[in-house]
Chains A and B, each alone.
Chain A
Amino acid sequence: MNEALLILAIVVITALAFDFTNGFHDTANAMATSIATGALKPKTAVVLAAVLNLVGAFLSIQVALTVSNKIISIQGSNGAPIPALMGVPILTIVFAGLVGGILWNLVTWLLGLPSSSSHALFGGLIGSAIAALGLGGVKWDGVVSSVVIPAVASPVVAGLVAAVGTWIVFKITARVAVGSREKGFRWGQIGSASLVALAHGTNDAQKTMGVITLALIAYGSWTDVHSIPLWVKVACALAIASGTYIGGWRVIRTLGKGLVEISSPQGMAAEFSSAAVILSSSHLGMALSTTHVATGSILGSGVGRPGAQVRWGVAGRMVIGWLLTLPAAALVGALCWAVAHGVGGGFGIVLVFAVLVAAAALMFRHSRKTKIDPSNVNEEWSGRLAPSTAPSETKTPVGV
Chain B
Amino acid sequence: MGEIFLKSFEALWQVLVAGIVLGAGLPALFALGIRVLGSGRTLAADGASYTTPPTGAGRVGSTVLFAVCGAAVLFGIVVIVFGSQIFGK
Tell me the A residues contacting B by CB distance below 8 Å: 56, 59, 61-62, 141, 144-145, 149, 153, 157-158, 160-162, 164-166, 168-169, 172-173, 175-181, 184-185, 188, 191-192, 194-195, 198-199, 202, 265, 268-269, 272-277, 279-286, 288
Identify which of residues 36-89 in chain B touch chain A, using a CB-to-CB cut-off of 8 Å. 37-38, 41, 43-44, 47-50, 69-70, 73, 76-77, 79-81, 83-84, 86-87, 89
B48 lies within 8 A of A177 (CB): yes
Q: Which 9 A-B pairs have the closest CB atoms?
A: A276-B23, A165-B24, A286-B11, A280-B18, A273-B23, A276-B22, A161-B19, A172-B31, A161-B23
B69 lies within 8 A of A188 (CB): yes
A192 lies within 8 A of B73 (CB): yes
Chain B 8-42 interface 0/1 with A at a Cβ cutoff of 8 Å (1 = within):
10011011101111111011101111110110010
**Which of B4, B80, B86, B87 is packed against the most chain A CB atoms within 10 Å?**
B80
Closest chain B CB from A186 CB (angstroms): 11
For the complex, give the distance between the alpha carbons of A280 and B34 in Å. 26
Chain A residues touching B, majority SS: helix
Closest chain B CB from A9 CB (angstroms): 32
11 contacts between A and B (CB under 8 A): A141-B1, A145-B7, A165-B23, A169-B28, A169-B31, A181-B38, A188-B30, A272-B26, A273-B27, A277-B15, A279-B76
Contacts of B22 in A (CB 8 A): 272, 276, 280
For the complex, give the distance between the alpha carbons of A61 and B81 in Å. 8
B1 lies within 8 A of A165 (CB): no
**Minimal Cβ-Cβ distance residue in B for A170:** B31
Closest chain B CB from A280 CB (angstroms): 4
For the complex, give the distance between the alpha carbons of A32 and B4 in Å. 34
Contacts of B32 in A (CB 8 A): 172
Closest chain A CB from B34 CB (angstroms): 4
A169 lies within 8 A of B27 (CB): yes
**Which of A158, A180, A191, A276 is packed against the most chain B CB atoms within 10 Å?**
A276
For the complex, give the distance between the alpha carbons of A275 and B79 in Å. 11
B77 lies within 8 A of A195 (CB): yes
For the complex, give the distance between the alpha carbons of A185 and B35 in Å. 11
For the complex, give the distance between the alpha carbons of A276 and B69 in Å. 12
Closest chain A CB from B14 CB (angstroms): 5
For the complex, give the distance between the alpha carbons of A374 and B47 in Å. 32
Contacts of A59 in B (CB 8 A): 80-81
Question: Given that A273-B23, A277-B15 are known contacts, is A202 also in contact with B80, CB under 8 Å in the complex?
Answer: yes
Question: Given that A172-B31, A191-B70 are known contacts, is A273 also in contact with B24, CB under 8 Å in the complex?
Answer: yes
- Given A157-B12, A161-B23, A265-B27, 16 other A-B residues pairs in contact with their CB atoms under 8 A: A168-B24, A169-B28, A169-B31, A172-B34, A176-B38, A185-B30, A188-B27, A192-B73, A195-B77, A265-B31, A268-B30, A274-B23, A280-B15, A280-B19, A281-B15, A283-B83
Contacts of A141 in B (CB 8 A): 1, 4
For the complex, give the distance between the alpha carbons of A188 and B83 in Å. 23
B15 lies within 8 A of A157 (CB): yes
Closest chain B CB from A209 CB (angstroms): 15
Closest chain B CB from A379 CB (angstroms): 24
**Which of B30, B48, B50, B70 is packed against the most chain A CB atoms within 10 Å?**
B30
Contacts of B8 in A (CB 8 A): 145, 149, 153, 286
Contacts of B81 in A (CB 8 A): 59, 61, 202
**Which of B7, B20, B21 is packed against the most chain A CB atoms within 10 Å?**
B20
A172 lies within 8 A of B4 (CB): no
